Amino acid sequence: MRPAKLIELEAILAIARRGSFRAAANDLGISPTAIGNAVAGLEDELGVRLFDRTTRRVDLTAAGHDFVRAIAPALSDIHAATEAARSRRDSPTGTLRINCSIAGGHQILVPFITEFIRRYGGVKVDIVTEGRLVDIVHAGFDAGVRVASAVPPNMTIVPLGQRLRYRVVGSPDYFKAHPRPVHPHELSEHDCIRIRWPSGAPYEWEFEKDGEAMQVDVPWSLSLDNHGLIARAALAGLGLAYVAEAEIADHVASGRLVPVLGDWMPPSPGFCLYFPERRPMVGFAGALAQVIADMGRQGD
């Protein structure tokens, strides 16, 4: 004997509940003919009638009553298990892998990853920081965190909500031997620590004041691609550094680094989470994007 099909069992319960083949067919979204064939096929297989049919009524037989009482709890469990499995589409499990710069790691770790782990306790988070920009898809990452200007095309972008501010800084010992610049043009008379993009191209220092914007290709004797190393070089008195404020805030507060040209340093677009556009807004990247959106609304 073949096992009963789920649609046949659904049909039996729907007809018993509604007392009508037509009404049960509407509930299940199938035709009256299809539901009639399903019930007839099951009755033939069981060798017993489950319903007494007249032109005006449909009633369960004694065998039908027993059958319904037996299968109703099992079908209820099946529906509950199905809904539980469906709900997990939006509840990621496993390991979320993120590639970001070191400064991007500072931006994403607190508070967003902290809240993500609290909300999805079964998920592990693996953050890889590196200076160079990698192809997150080819390298097996779920998402990346970079400044918006560095994000590759065809990516979904979720701003992290914090604008960046950069500072030009030097050590007190450096300024004992050099005057403090008051205009970006004066940087030509200074030793500077050059920044390289992950691609290897040099970064021209950006300034803006009262609508006047400029980029300066500074003189240099040391070139680095890591803001932490740049800050250490500045602390050692090797020259002026152009670094993210978050990287050197403690050094400035303690006086180990001295900021200059502050009125020429406007906020810059901040970091963003990004992932391929073709991926649906579910799973790891989508769940983290939702955390970021929720926390952004809380801060409004």
> Smallest Cα–Cα separation from 187: which of 265, 269, 82?
265
Contacts of 47 (CB under 8 A, 6+ apart): none
Q: Are residues 206 and 221 in the same domain?
A: yes
- The answer to whether residue 79 scores a pLDDT higher than 80 is no
Domain span at residue 127 reads 91-162+270-299
- CA-to-CA distance for 149 and 1, rounded, in angstroms? 66
Q: Are residues 157 and 275 in the same domain?
A: yes
- CA-to-CA distance for 67 and 60, rounded, in angstroms? 10
Q: Are residues 173 and 27 in the same domain?
A: no
Whether the pTM exceeds 0.75: the reply is no
Residue 1 domain-assigned?
no
Q: Are residues 123 and 53 in the same domain?
A: no
DSSP track, 81-136: HHHHHHHGGGS--EEEEEEE-HHHHHHHIIIIIHHHHHH-TTEEEEEEE-SS---T
Do the beta carbons of residue 225 and residue 199 sit within 8 Å?
no
Q: What is the number of structural domains in the chain?
A: 3
Q: Are residues 154 and 143 in the same domain?
A: yes
| 102-129: pLDDT as tens digits | 778 877 887 899 999 888 887 889 999 8
Q: Are residues 75 and 98 in the same domain?
A: no
Find tokens 């205009």 and name the residue: 183
Which CATH number belongs to the domain containing residue 153 in this structure? 3.40.190.10
Residue 128 domain-assigned?
yes
Q: Using the 8-state DSSP alphabet, how is residue 196 labeled? A: B
Q: Using the 8-state DSSP alphabet, how is residue 277 labeled? A: T
The model's confidence at residue 242, banded by pLDDT at 50, 70 and 90, is: very high
- The answer to whether residue 56 scores a pLDDT higher than 90 is no
Q: Are residues 124 and 81 in the same domain?
A: no
Q: Are residues 258 and 225 in the same domain?
A: yes
